Structure 1
Amino acid sequence: MILTFEDVVLSFSGVTALNGVSFEVGEGELFAVIGPNGAGKTSIFNVLSGVYRPEQGKVRFKAEEDEDVDLLGKRPSQIAKLGIARTFQNIELFSNLTVIDNLMLGRHHHHPYGVLQAFAWFGTARQNELTNRAKVEEIVDFLELEQWRRLPVGLLPYGVQKRVELGRALASEPRLLLLDEPVAGMNLEETEDMARFILDIRDELGLAMVMVEHDMGLVMDLADRIMVIDFGRPIRTGRPREVAADPDVIRAYLGEEHRITS
């Protein structure tokens, strides 16, 4: 397993956000977390990325082939260096910078030189810059961003901006990718494009992913396994068809008279 999230409890001023949440994510697996608004999905992401520190539980991540690291107590920057990247529900890009420049920001952990070398642009700094730009160009090709590569992202359609944010996360060369509502606010065509790229990331790049998403059609089509949470408690974890047929999931998420179609 690349990630183990075990018996995590998190509360704020007496209000419990996560209550004994446990799950595992395997190498190359697309694991989805679903639940009603306020169920605790974002809290899970904030624990994984070091924004929140729970009162109880263990969170372990396999950073390298044989290195199992405890994430609790580590800063977000340290966790990013270990190989966990995150996208956000609300786009967090620099709108006045180009697509290329925004993607280059995702490479900041891969700049092993100081400010003076960067200004002088010689030796290690020059070679590293060329290497990083080559990596970014690979992402431009992978996400089909060629026609927008030199444009400020603030001028781009919403769906393309979401794609750029995904590219920035990929630019860090993560081992685990956290996708926070990757198709929120998209139209049907944009959603289909994003779904295709997410599948390509799993199948071609072999990345493990944890995805929070409200689009049930997307989740049922893409996820290998799904965990459903409600009021901070896990209800069911399993394959999409198993989860879709669970009466407790139907009651908590859609109401008694509805069914999730798979």
Structure 2
Amino acid sequence: MRPLSEALTGTSVDVAEGQPILEVHDLVLRFGGTTAVGGVSFDVERGELFAIIGPNGAGKTSIFNCLSGVYRPQEGSVRFLGEDLLGNKPDVVADKGVARMFQNIELFDNLTVLDNLMLGRHQHLRYGMLAGMVYRGRAKHAELENRRIVEDIIDFLEIEAFRKFPVGMLPYGVKKRVELGRALAMEPKLLLLDEPVAGMNVEETEDMARFILDIRTELDLAMIMVEHDMGLVMDLADRVLVVDFGKPIALGTPEHVQNDPEVIRAYLGEGDQGPTLQEEAAAAEAVAAEEVGR
């Protein structure tokens, strides 16, 4: 198996040291009289793992939908590698290098793992319909090269045993890996991870965390993660943005935000009962250690 960085050469970005690859400024999204996102600003640097957290309904997924072109915000700006991203349709955003792993698995159950991952290569197949029907020369060469890249991703995610299985037959944790693999197959320059470990058990969560770290190490790929697992966020993220009712209330390192009074109030209310985010993360780690010990 060749290194993932050799297979996915299109993930590299040419930006100056310390210059953000994504700049979000005063993003506002309204649905009628309801403000889903109210004045959110942040930036993401090359190779950074940036996390967005908040209570249910805080606007996290709405921010992702704005970044990926699903929603068009009424105010604000989003610049990706120096280009304005807002107003583009999702397919154009994907072509520019933004890929998304969905919270609710968006795979084709009747297709195999291999075929689902090949769908992530569609924008890299530049031959026409006629050439594809003949399947000779340029079309055949492109198909084989893209299949080779998909096989590298399958090896990287350790799903070789399932490569020819229909996705609908697979365990949930494996489906999430395939979802991640399809996003990687697009060769993104920015990867959006929408609750990558939602619904997983401890072992599956640890595996996914390992793959996320390996992707970051091998590809130097910038990632934005929305996640409710506080243990995972505090372990992996470089910086964390906390939102509540669509508004940003804290931005900084995991150590900073987990002790921020506004963050604690957003999660726990005005009272002082219940665990802090730090205690919640420590409890998650203790449970994981206990499961591993068994």
> Would the TM-score normalized by the shorter structure come out above 0.5?
yes
Once the 2 structures are TM-superposed, how far is the Cα of residue 122 of structure 1 from its aligned partner? 1.0
Instruction: Give the Cα separation in 1 of the matches to 2:41 and 2:60.
Output: 13
Structure 2 partner of 1:101: 115
Instruction: Give the Cα separation in 2 of the matches to 1:95 and 1:114.
Output: 27
Instruction: Give the Cα separation in 2 of the matches to 1:205 and 1:96.
Output: 31
Once the 2 structures are TM-superposed, how far is the Cα of residue 119 of structure 1 from its aligned partner? 1.1
With normalisation by structure 2, the TM-score equals: 0.86
Structure 1 partner of 2:62: 43
- Cα–Cα, structure 1 residues 113 and 71, in superposed 2: closer, same or farther, change >3 Å? same
Selected match of 2:208 from 194, 197, 207: 194
Q: Give the RMSD, CA atoms, in angstroms.
A: 0.8
* Runs of 5+ consecutive residues of structure 1 not aligned to the other structure: 63-67
One-letter code aligned to 1:129? E
Structure 2 partner of 1:65: none
The answer to whether 1:13 aligns with 2:27 is no
- Cα–Cα, structure 1 residues 231 and 253, in superposed 2: closer, same or farther, change >3 Å? same
Instruction: Give the Cα separation in 2 of the matches to 1:227 and 1:171.
Output: 28
State how many pairs are aligned.
257
Deviation string 1:107-133 (CA, Å, 9 cap, x unpaired) is 000010111111110111111101100
Specify the SS of the correspondent of 2:219. Answer: coil
The answer to whether 1:29 aligns with 2:48 is yes
Specify the SS of the correspondent of 1:2. Answer: strand
Instruction: Give the Cα separation in 2 of the matches to 1:95 and 1:53.
Output: 30
The answer to whether 1:120 aligns with 2:148 is no
Structure 2 partner of 1:4: 23
Deviation string 1:67-121 (CA, Å, 9 cap, x unpaired) is x110111010000000000011111101111110000000000010111111110
The answer to whether 1:260 aligns with 2:274 is no
Instruction: Give the Cα separation in 2 of the matches to 1:69 and 1:96.
Output: 38
Specify the SS of the correspondent of 1:210. Answer: strand
* Runs of 5+ consecutive residues of structure 2 not aligned to the other structure: 1-19, 282-294
Where has structure 1 moved over 6 Å in runs of 4 or more? none
The answer to whether 1:225 aligns with 2:244 is no
Structure 2 partner of 1:54: 73
Instruction: Give the Cα separation in 2 of the matches to 1:6 and 1:143.
Output: 35
Once the 2 structures are TM-superposed, how far is the Cα of residue 254 of structure 1 from its aligned partner? 3.4
One-letter code aligned to 1:124? R
Instruction: Give the Cα separation in 2 of the matches to 1:153 and 1:15.
Output: 38
Specify the SS of the correspondent of 1:89. Answer: coil
With normalisation by structure 1, the TM-score equals: 0.96
Instruction: Give the Cα separation in 1 of the matches to 2:53 and 2:179.
Output: 22
Question: Identity of counterpart residues, as a percentage?
Answer: 68
